[in-house]
Structure 1
């Protein structure tokens, strides 16, 4: 339980203040978990960063798998549900760290290649899931059958990342869902 608490607090602080600017002492103070307990679970801040990346991956995977399973809804409705969930997260963080993965990737120490690889694998997996959704959309007649699914999935993710960044700079989470609507209109 303490380990989970420290990771959740770190997940917020790393996005709000930055990995480099968050001290282990601050984590102890905010999480109210003793210093010895924090160091029992995490030998250093980099190990904690890896725990935070895992936390965000699991959070997103759960949300994505939930929308994948709701076959009674259209693909666009399912994706928009997921994006509304993302938007709420961005708003609740007061637009800091629009995309946790890019924020943490950039903030990772240069030598933390395993953390960067983990984030890369997350995006590879995400693209496969988006391809799966687009394939379902084509099969259901939501999208035209001439689209190149994998290429469009890659474009969708690039588009989403851009929308997350712009929503952060404009402090407007509606950019995320509006951009997706425009994207889907191009697939009909």
Structure 2
């Protein structure tokens, strides 16, 4: 069992690495920067994470759980969870300065040859698609709305405003009313 001190160091490394990966990207974030900003020794980082990729996987796992908890909590009392999911996206845009999806951002910085990282990206998106499939039942409609949601993330990041989210939310609502 790890001591509280070691757990604190690990969490601090993860927190700093996660903030840096999200803000400046995986490839632009160096191990030395993480060590400096987390205020840990190099040996401490490598004690918890043997490689930068291993740190990335832990970050993606943690990011997935935090995102999923926030998403679920936000939608908990909403009547129309699908349409409200776009509202969640707008709040996320505001809170994260239109930085976009950590998983899509990481996708642009990795390849399928990094299978453990790639699997984390796929798992996150598969669970999001599963949410839409559960809510909408119709698999084709679910995939279409999921695709609109994903596009809303990318477009709002690109244009740094909520208009794409609002437009695609309206399209999703229209499609759901027709089904």
TM range (shorter): 0.7 to 0.9
User: Which of residues 45, 55, 67 in structure 1 aligns to 2:62?
Assistant: 55
Which residue number corresponds to residue 74 of structure 1? 79
Which residue number corresponds to residue 135 of structure 2? 133
Give runs of aligned pairs for residues 1-188 of structure 1, distance below 5 A.
1-67=8-74, 69-70=76-77, 73-75=78-80, 78-96=81-99, 98-108=100-110, 111-135=113-137, 149-188=138-177
Q: How many residues align?
A: 170
Alpha-carbon distance, 1:101 to partner: 0.9
Alpha-carbon distance, 1:161 to partner: 1.3
Instruction: Normalising by structure 2, report the TM-score.
Output: 0.82
Following TM superposition, the consecutive aligned residue runs of length 4 or more in structure 1 with deviations greater than 6 angstroms are none
CA distance in 1, matches of 2:125, 2:82: 16
CA RMSD of aligned residues (A): 2.2
Is the CA contact (8 Å cut-off) linking 2:74 and 2:88 kept in structure 1? no
Matched residue of 1:21: which SS?
coil
Is the CA contact (8 Å cut-off) linking 1:53 and 1:104 kept in structure 2? no
Q: Tell me the alpha carbon deviations over residues 59-104 of structure 1, each in whole angstroms, 9 at most, x when there is no partner.
A: 222123335643xx312xx3455434433333333323x1111111
In structure 1, the gaps of 5 or more residues are: 136-148
Matched residue of 2:176: which SS?
coil
In structure 2, the gaps of 5 or more residues are: 1-7
Is the CA contact (8 Å cut-off) linking 2:60 and 2:103 kept in structure 1? yes
